[in-house]
Amino acid sequence: MKQGKKIISFLLALAFVFSLCLIPASAGYEVKHGDAAAALWEEGLFLGSGGSFDLDKPLTRAAGAAMIVRLLGKEAEAKEGNYTIPFTDVADWAKPYIGYCYSNGIVNGTSENTYGSNDNMTVAQYLTLVLRALDYDDKTGDFSWNKAADKAFELGMINQRSYTQYTTTKDFLRDDAAGIAYAALSQKLKGTNKALMSSITLPDRPNGKMPVYTSADLALKQEASKPSSASGNSGIWLNASIKYTDESTTARPDSWPRDAENISLFIGDGYASTLSWSEAPDGNVYSPEATFHATSGIAKLYSYWIVSDPATVDLEIICDGTKIQTIEDFTVRTGDYVDIEMTIDMSALNAKLGEGDHKVSIAYVKPIYVDGKFLYNDDKVLQAYNLGTGVKGAAFKLSGGLSGSAITNNYLYAGGKAYGVQYFLTFETGQYGGEYKMSFPAEDGTDTRTFTAEPNSIYHITYTYGIDYNATYSYEYDFSVKLEGPKAADLSFKSKHPGKIKIGTFKIEKK
């Protein structure tokens, strides 16, 4: 158990061109307090079921009682207690919470022998419980339970938009409950200067993975974890095989194509040595950095690792920035040999994604924490392979991620604090050489850089933003890097950083 302390605020409005995005669920519901739910989950204060927070569903009276017990910091006491309640409609899991609340005069039943466990909790009922947790007493006149929204608005616990919603409609969902609970943590207890969060004992972080926002998101996640099937093709265009052995069994080329940028990688906090190469359908062997072209036949992508430190992550296979397969809870141990082999049907790939150059990457998802608080999941490319289904140089594109680098960013640290973040881009000119201009937005302006690019060339671009490190807050960015010239392109990034990003440095290298 741990004493409450200041929780990172995930929701900060950003000026300039950056905006905070609400995340829509597939069924059409727009989540409002997803980051609040995530922050509460990290502290063990808001749980889901079946892998989802169910933010688009009503809050039941049973779940509301459980949330209030956690907000009071009394979950351990409730679970250890032996309560007698007159209600016959309370599930076993909810008895400790409802028993504690009933025994302490926090809740009442809907009749002499029913609590109404599965009934929807109203916003007035929920706000009443939250205000009681802050030591306000409706029985002595601090507020009226049926006008609890007035008191919450007076205290600044809800904003004008929420107040209007709660007083003019009956709309109240688990999403709203999470937002109110999160705001309550920073509220001062009645008559004191002590915030609720500093006066309670927080549960431990739940085991396992954080739930998704809604059941619709869960269905999308489960669907996205399946390999894609080529349209009109009975098989899967990419198949991945991963083996753990006492020693590598992959037959390596006599003279494998050594690429200094792909010699080592990090898995979680661990480190591994790696050798990787690709084999075209004609049998020729290439460095992953090189692009081979084939319109048909089977290509093979190889990577083998010698692990020096243990780690457990989610491993992903990504093609052109889109996840096509997820291997959950990928675990390696010190001394493990890991052989990875991917086979690609080039004609099926062409039918699926079209003629042109493509990038297939192996990446992992690593949770990022600052001062022990979860910020976001960072996708890191472990290995990337370039392959094409058309004439070399025919495609013009600007894409995120360099081989062996982060898809979106890579932090620079000093003294345990991030002072910079790097964004990596690949620019392939095709036939469109000439003068180009790139614009990188930041908090303190837009950095515009110009350069000359040759036709049929590949350029690696690194832009390093400065970061004003903040141990308390994270900042969410949604912005576009613009390319102007003989051809134009935009590349969008969504990410969270432990501080505001500032204009930085630009580097371009021809490959």
Domain ranges of the chain: 2-216, 228-353, 396-511
Return the structure tokens found at 69.
């017990």
Between these two residues, 495 and 410, which has the higher pLDDT value? 495
* Residue 271 contacts residue 264 (beta carbons within 8 Å): yes
What b/e sequence results for 114-123 when a residue is b if at least 16 CB atoms lie within 10 Å of its CB, and e otherwise? ebbbebebbb
What is the bridge-based pairing of β-strands 291-293 and 373-388?
parallel
The first and second tokens of residue 404, run together, are: 């062996």
Burial of 441 (0-12, 13-18, 19+ CB in 10 A): buried
Q: State the pTM of this model.
A: 0.45
340 in Cβ contact with 362 (< 8 Å): yes
Segment 93-118 mean pLDDT: 92
Angle at 316 between CA 313 and CA 320, to 5 degrees: 145
SS3 507: strand
Band of pLDDT at residue 236, cut at 50, 70 and 90:
low
* 314, 330 contact by CB (below 8 A): yes
Q: What does each C-alpha distance from 489 to 442, 482, 492, 493 come to in angstroms?
A: 19, 6, 10, 13
Give the C-alpha separation, 40 to 181, whole Å: 8
Please classify residue 414 by burial: count the beta carbons closer than 10 Å to its beta carbon, then call 0-12 exposed, 13-18 middle and 19+ buried.
exposed
- 123-127, 287-291, 455-459: range with highest mean pLDDT: 123-127
Neighbours of 415 (CB within 10 A): 6
- Mean pLDDT across 232-236: 36
* Cβ-contact 29, 23 below 8 angstroms: no
Give residue-wise pLDDT tens across range 440-491. 999 999 999 999 998 878 888 888 888 888 877 778 888 889 999 988 888 8
* Single-letter amino acid code for the residue at 479: F
Q: Let me know: does 20 contact 14? Beta carbons within 8 Å.
A: yes
Contacts of 101 (CB under 8 A, 6+ apart): 65, 68, 69, 107, 129
Whether residue 186 has pLDDT greater than 50: yes
164 contacts 35 by C-beta, under 8 angstroms: no
- The mean pLDDT value for 21-41 works out to 66
Query: For residue 32, which amino acid is it?
Result: K
Q: Rounded CA gap, 128 and 145, in Å?
A: 6
- Helix, strand, coil shares of the chain, percent, nearest 5, are 20, 40, 40
CA dist list (Å): 429 to 291, 388, 433, 456: 14, 15, 6, 6
What φ, ψ does residue 207 adopt, rounded to 5°? -75, 160
The DSSP output letter for 365 is E
Residue 377 confidence (pLDDT): 61
Q: Does domain 396-511 have CATH number 2.60.40?
A: yes
For residue 159, the one-letter residue type is: N
pLDDT score of 270: 46
> Could you tell me the pLDDT band of residue 20, with boundaries at 50, 70 and 90?
very low
DSSP 253: -
Which tokens is 12 given? 């900060």
Pick from 27-31, 92-96, 471-475: least confident: 27-31
Residue 152 CA to residue 128 CA, distance in Å, equals: 9
Decide if 314 contacts 210 (C-beta within 8 A).
no
Higher-scoring residue by pLDDT: 40, 251: 40
Angle between helices 61-71 and 174-185 (to 10 degrees): 10
